Structure 1
Amino acid sequence: ALPPSAGLCSTRAGLALLLHISLFLAYALRVSLSIAIVAMTNSSHPHGWSGSTPHSSHPGFAQDVRDFYLTDVFYLLQAPMYNWSAETQGIVLSSFFYGYGLTQALGGYCSGLFGGKPVLGIGLLLSSLLTLLVPPAAELGIGFLIGLQVLLGLAEGVIFPAQYTIWAKWAPPLERSKLMNIADAGCTFGTFFALLVAGIICQSLGWPFVFYIFGDVGCAWCLCWFLFMYEDPAHHPWINAREREYIVSSLAHQGSSHGLSLPLVAMAKSLPLWAITIACFCTDWMFYMLLTSMPTFLSDVLHFDLRENGLLSSLPYVGNGLGHILAGLLADFLLARQVLGTAAVRKLFSALGMLLPAAFLVAVPYIGCSSTVVVVLLTLALTIISMTGAGININHMDIAPRYAGFLLGITSTFGIVAGIIAPTAVGLLIGQDLQSGWRNAFFLSAALNLFGLIFYVAFGSGTIQDWAREDAAVQ
């Protein structure tokens, strides 16, 4: 039977929009501090993105920022300034990740037990409430702010795995890539939006309003989430009967959500799962290295000024978001036309998303002074890395849909570890010598990606594993 229209009016398209907005807000909340911290401190600040580790700050850059904000006397009268060192700021920004890494697997497990709707909704509501508390926490002292960031990480950590659990009940196999990547694009669009808007709010209203406005919008959205979101097609009141029948029958083979016990031993022995995990670690290494270090690279090596830097650092987010959506549409087109099997499609998109950025990175040190070309290459690298969104990033759903949320939590944890190690490694390499340090950092990242891809192509799979079938669970 032909699938009922997956047009913009279908219920599952509406769900993709709900999740897109939820992830958009979650990411806007988590990067708001990394932008506001520039206005909160009158000392040098670490460039980059939330979770960036402090690099030797470029003095001219900080001076620009200071002059930029001191001109606004109205703003100075109402928003407090703090005298935090670059190291302190680095600790504040990276503390988010320590909480974020801890709740990934837990979020996946709980959403398998209680459903993705309550887990995601509560995670987003707590994140919004905690964001509202940033200004008073900063006033109380740096320890409170670091603690608050860890709590924010703990709350946000459950959001992504819960989203996967929801899709396991809603996304027909031939539309998985498309629907999930439309939702995922919210992450990068949210980050881009926050980078643009938070700077404007800091200048016009003062930095505390970044947290008040973002936090309030998040709380309001949570109300919409609990009102309009339904756990699965069977419980949805307005869904067209044909669409419900189509989704339910296309997912009939995968079994229901898991119970209290998980086949952990079988998971630990599963090569297809290890293939995803290792590839995710390697891709995230490159992704986080580019995000956290690109602003530093632009200012230290290419000597870009702040305003150019801000725009150039945010360009890749737009590319990455659009890339996600395009990759999803293309992958589903290939699957629906039966041009390639599931495993082949996942490997093809992973290969494109891992090899091309690696090649661009290796080229960067040899281009030398042509800053335009370097920026184009780094932007392309961050854009094309989104191809993995139709590859390794959703392969969990193919091999074990019942445990998708939990498995995503596991692979994300490895990815976050990479996100914590990568900027630190870059800092150590640059510390020795600026030029060769950056070259080695780019080479290391490219080599890791190549290794991860070879491992994934060798051991990745596109079919449901034996341990993930419902009858196997009753051991």
Structure 2
Amino acid sequence: MMENPTRDDIPEDNMDVPRWKFWKRRRYIVTLMALLGFFNVFALRVNVSVAIVAMTSTSSRTLENGTVVEGVSYPSMHDVWAHWAPPMERSRLATFAYSGSYIGTVVVMPISGVLAQNVGWPAVFYVFGVVGLVWFAAWWVLVKRGPQYDRHIDPRELKYLQDALPVVPKNVVHPWKKFFASGPVWAVIVANFSENWGFYTLLTQLPIFMKDTLEFDIQEAGFLSALPYVVVSATMQVAGHIADWFLSRKILNTTQVRKLFCCGAFLCQSLFMLLAAFLLTPAGAVTCLTLAVGLGAFAMAGFFVNHLDIAPQHASVLLGIGNTFGTMPGIISPTITGYIVQHKTTSEWQIVFFISSAIYLVGSIFYGIFASGEVQSWAKTQQSDEAIKRSSLDGHSNKALET
């Protein structure tokens, strides 16, 4: 096994099983369970928002949502991908799983409303709490840390994954100084910040803009609130498959795919932010909102899986760092908007959208210059250490398959 295999070195999946029979491939089971997990995480987040309306109709209560728990979910899942997602399938597996967060938002919002209205607000927590426990039990039984520990995996899939993926040591020493001295790491951080700035601005400020300047209340058409989530759920599937198609067909290398998808999406989103500032009609504003959020899925097929390319064994930590910077726009953007929009005029709102458009543009340029799809030198392990670890893991694999 090479430390940093090229595209020509990466093996093909030689299982003679149709891909639609996903249950025959354990990595697809892991991906489906991940989607259901993110579905449930965001379901728990949404049901708090819905249930608190019913709760506060009779009394005043304050709840803390599951933001802390949600925050560790993404980095933890990146550690799973380091063991289960082959390079040629990394984009589609990750985007499919992460789309569960948007699907959960769309599906659970009306269900929680029905439960709160007809059964009572406690039912919202009981139902999705039980669903979460069932998912946890299934995850505990079905998903293992790596394919070598899964006794139900087909030997051909096991060999394919072991040949395609670098060995991830159990006790990883993270080179913190090299993290922050790495251009590709900062490229991912800046991209995360840029995408979230636009995301929070679009989802929180654009509806207010339409109400203030267009006298259009988006809440009157409830489905419009969920429309961006529906679109991004669908486009995430398309984006991941297209990205992996470019790689599997050897049309582009990993670096080129990541830059094309991230930079291309940011440039288009920058354009739609500008259009939102000038299209002073409800239809135009909603169209810009929907397209801009949907295109974010293509950006995620670029930068959001890039940690696994540049440093597989450090991917979970790097995502945690990136998400830390990525949460800042949720605080900064509304604050800046509040300072700018004093009189609710069109010109004030245009400044807000100009800022978001500029941040997308800067993010695109920065990522285009510094991003990489190759394993970084500081993330490579010594060949001798890999051989030892591979031998050890193969021993565990044989024992697991024998049992």
1:200 CA drift (Å): 2.1
**Equivalent residue number for residue 91 of structure 2:** 177
**Equivalent residue number for residue 310 of structure 2:** 399
1:466 CA drift (Å): 0.6
**Equivalent residue number for residue 190 of structure 2:** 278
**Equivalent residue number for residue 381 of structure 2:** 470
**Taking structure 1 as reference, are residues 396 and 249 closer, same or farther at Cα in structure 2, changes over 3 Å only?**
same
* Greater length-normalized contact order (CA 8 Å, ≥ 6 residues apart): 2
Residue 81 of structure 1 pairs with residue 59 of structure 2: yes
Instruction: Specify the SS of the correspondent of 2:132.
Output: helix
Q: Is the 8 A contact 1:255 1:469 kept in 2?
A: no
Q: Distance in 2 between matches of 1:264 and 1:38?
A: 44
Q: Is the 8 A contact 2:257 2:302 kept in 1?
A: yes
**Taking structure 1 as reference, are residues 348 and 379 closer, same or farther at Cα in structure 2, changes over 3 Å only?**
same
Q: Is the 8 A contact 2:219 2:225 kept in 1?
A: no
**Taking structure 1 as reference, are residues 81 and 300 closer, same or farther at Cα in structure 2, changes over 3 Å only?**
farther
**Equivalent residue number for residue 191 of structure 1:** 105
Residue 342 of structure 1 pairs with residue 257 of structure 2: no
Alignment partner of 1:376 out of 265, 287, 290: 287
1:470 CA drift (Å): 1.5
**Given residue 31 of structure 2, which amino acid in structure 1 is its aligned partner?**
A
1:308 CA drift (Å): 3.6
**Equivalent residue number for residue 222 of structure 1:** 136
**Given residue 363 of structure 1, which amino acid in structure 2 is its aligned partner?**
L
**Given residue 100 of structure 2, which amino acid in structure 1 is its aligned partner?**
G
Residue 26 of structure 1 pairs with residue 41 of structure 2: yes
1:408 CA drift (Å): 0.5
**Equivalent residue number for residue 428 of structure 1:** 339
Q: Distance in 2 between matches of 1:434 and 1:215?
A: 44
Q: Distance in 1 between matches of 2:98 and 2:218?
A: 29
**Equivalent residue number for residue 176 of structure 2:** 264
Residue 386 of structure 1 pairs with residue 297 of structure 2: yes
1:233-263 deviation digits (Å, cap 9, x = unpaired): 1111211111110011101xx3323625311
Query: Does 370-379 or 196-205 show the bigger shift?
Result: 196-205
Query: Does 463-472 or 13-22 show the bigger shift?
Result: 463-472
**Taking structure 1 as reference, are residues 361 and 38 closer, same or farther at Cα in structure 2, changes over 3 Å only?**
farther
Give matches, 1:64-79, under 5 Å.
none
1:373-399 deviation digits (Å, cap 9, x = unpaired): 221121111111110121011111110
Q: Is the 8 A contact 2:231 2:290 kept in 1?
A: yes
Q: Distance in 1 between matches of 2:215 and 2:106?
A: 22
Q: Distance in 1 between matches of 2:352 and 2:236?
A: 26
**Equivalent residue number for residue 3 of structure 1:** 13
1:318 CA drift (Å): 0.8
Query: Does 349-358 or 404-413 show the bigger shift?
Result: 349-358
Q: Distance in 1 between matches of 2:136 and 2:266?
A: 35
**Taking structure 1 as reference, are residues 341 and 228 closer, same or farther at Cα in structure 2, changes over 3 Å only?**
same
Give matches, 1:198-237, under 5 Å.
198-237=112-151
Q: Is the 8 A contact 1:467 1:473 kept in 2?
A: no
Q: Distance in 2 between matches of 1:466 and 1:258?
A: 19
**Equivalent residue number for residue 8 of structure 2:** none
Q: Give identity over the alignment, percent.
A: 38
Q: Is the 8 A contact 2:83 2:147 kept in 1?
A: yes
**Equivalent residue number for residue 67 of structure 2:** 153
1:303-355 deviation digits (Å, cap 9, x = unpaired): 44465442101101011011111100000000001101100000000022211
Q: Distance in 2 between matches of 1:29 and 1:450?
A: 34
1:298 CA drift (Å): 4.1
**Given residue 380 of structure 1, which amino acid in structure 2 is its aligned partner?**
L
1:372 CA drift (Å): 1.3
Q: Distance in 2 between matches of 1:264 and 1:3?
A: 35
Q: Is the 8 A contact 2:259 2:367 kept in 1?
A: yes
Unaligned runs of 5+ in 1: 43-79, 83-137
**Given residue 315 of structure 1, which amino acid in structure 2 is its aligned partner?**
L
- Report the aligned-residue RMSD: 2.0
**Given residue 172 of structure 1, which amino acid in structure 2 is its aligned partner?**
P
Q: Distance in 2 between matches of 1:258 and 1:453?
A: 35
**Taking structure 1 as reference, are residues 460 and 18 closer, same or farther at Cα in structure 2, changes over 3 Å only?**
same
Q: Distance in 2 between matches of 1:297 and 1:210?
A: 32
**Given residue 337 of structure 1, which amino acid in structure 2 is its aligned partner?**
R
**Given residue 131 of structure 2, which amino acid in structure 1 is its aligned partner?**
V
Q: TM-score, normalised by structure 1?
A: 0.74
Q: TM-score, normalised by structure 2?
A: 0.87
Q: Is the 8 A contact 2:196 2:330 kept in 1?
A: yes
**Taking structure 1 as reference, are residues 303 and 215 closer, same or farther at Cα in structure 2, changes over 3 Å only?**
farther
Q: Distance in 2 between matches of 1:207 and 1:272?
A: 46
1:226 CA drift (Å): 0.9
Count of residues in Structure 1 that have an aligned counterpart in Structure 2: 370
Alignment partner of 1:310 out of 222, 230, 238: 222
1:447 CA drift (Å): 0.3
Instruction: Specify the SS of the correspondent of 1:391.
Output: helix
**Equivalent residue number for residue 200 of structure 2:** 288
Q: Is the 8 A contact 1:234 1:244 kept in 2?
A: yes
**Given residue 84 of structure 2, which amino acid in structure 1 is its aligned partner?**
W
Instruction: Specify the SS of the correspondent of 1:173.
Output: coil
**Given residue 35 of structure 1, which amino acid in structure 2 is its aligned partner?**
V
Instruction: Specify the SS of the correspondent of 2:171.
Output: coil
**Equivalent residue number for residue 76 of structure 1:** none
1:240-291 deviation digits (Å, cap 9, x = unpaired): 111110011101xx33236253111111110111111111101111112222
Q: Is the 8 A contact 1:233 1:247 kept in 2?
A: yes
